[in-house]
Structure 1
């Protein structure tokens, strides 16, 4: 296998890698805040809010991401009356599905982080005269983030690999170009190269989160 051939397929695969990275970035930026919101909804004192958040998390974690993506892409447009207003570009539909799915997982991760905080922290904050907002932002959230960071790191790496599901809705990402090259050239080298590119992306994330973990550990 010549270097010239590898370079010829690398260009399109890097183009697909841009789509992969874009989906990852959009999903992370939107799903983490939404996950926070659902975490606090589950802990709300308003029962309907708790029931809604709990049901949402159960459904999103209990059904495959691929099914959710297909539903958003092809199911929403056929809903009577409102379907015509829910037609989206396939990449946008995939972003919506990824955001909704990963928000549920992040919500559970953050909830676990909150449960790991000793109740004495809340009592100490009350003794010091801190308001509920001050207690949450200055004491609870920093500790929760430190506890949840390893799980967030793992989920983020899973998200990178799950971007390959874009292939199912005909969005040309990294795996799409690898599969195209394999079918055209009858060689598995494009798959090997795609694997290397995925490993590079996950390596960057691993190094980044390890640095964040060290920072939170010593602060």
Structure 2
């Protein structure tokens, strides 16, 4: 058992008692940042132009709560549709068929190259461009089925459809990067076991790619939440930003209602960030770094980690031994 001195430190021969380096820079920087933060807080609290009573009055207004519901609904539907379409586009980009690769490339090029506001305006005018949606033989007058576009592409449907198509173009590149990060040997081993391409993608490739896909997808989801404020271009007038703007125009108080919108966006974003961190932790299992274990040359077995107590060292040694046995069994 290792002996310790009176301070609880290991008894190391010829140990050097080094003095800590004085770091004045971080201390000065911390003081400056604290002063700036205090000034910002003072401005927020004491400035009467923020109208905090108006903020608290309309924070839980029925119109605001309804706007939050529509904002969350738009975000959820748009992201689900975008994720499904992005996976299809990423698989098409990796296909051996040149037609599938070309269509995927054109879709990504078009929707990434045009502003989302312009796309939403286009979807708002889709009934003007195409009064009817028909199914038939191209370049002939033969029609098997048709329906009025205005009955299908409502303002709500146009809003989430425009958001989803734009988002899918960005997510497809994220998914493609995640798929290409998986070792090709995984797919080759699965093919050797007789698994189909669809099963390999679902059971082997995608689960491993999720570790890389989840963080940027979480960022895109938060971005989508804020992008819903642009659906006024459709026009769709029930989401959070329009609801607060309508109240502000009615009472001639734009600043307090902007603060109301900011508070709710921050609350929802914070919840999404927590969900994202949980998903990252879940799909990151098996990739987390583990404590390094030194091997004692004389005994030939696992030794204690420097600075750890005997109980902690025993747990690390036991874990290393079990990992070694699992590797031998595999």
Q: What TM-score do the two structures reach when normalised by structure 2? A: 0.62
- Which has the larger share of helix? 1
CA deviations on 1:72-118 (whole Å, 9 max, x unpaired) are 111x2222664783222211111111121111111111001111112
Q: Does 1:85 align with 2:85?
A: no
Q: How does 1:16-165 map to 2 (within 5 A)?
A: 16-74=67-125, 76-79=126-129, 82=132, 85-87=148-150, 88-165=153-230
User: How many pairs are equivalent?
Assistant: 218
Alpha-carbon contact 1:91-1:171 (below 8 Å) kept:
no
The 3-state SS of whatever aligns with 1:218 is: coil
CA deviations on 1:177-217 (whole Å, 9 max, x unpaired) are 22122223333111011101001111111100100101111
1:173 to partner: Cα distance = 1.3
Aligned match for 2:249, one of 183, 193, 196: 183
Aligned match for 2:280, one of 210, 213, 218: 213
Structure ranking higher on relative contact order (CA contacts 8 Å, 6+ apart): 1
CA deviations on 1:158-191 (whole Å, 9 max, x unpaired) are 0000000122314221111221222233331110
Alpha-carbon contact 2:130-2:149 (below 8 Å) kept:
no
Aligned partner of 1:6 in structure 2 is 56
1:134 to partner: Cα distance = 3.3
1:152 to partner: Cα distance = 0.5
Looking at structure 2, the residues matched to 191 and 159 of structure 1 have their Cα atoms a distance apart, in angstroms, of 19
Aligned partner of 1:198 in structure 2 is 265
The 3-state SS of whatever aligns with 1:199 is: helix
Gaps of 5+ in 2: 1-50, 134-146, 287-330
Cα RMSD (Å)? 2.0
The 3-state SS of whatever aligns with 1:171 is: coil
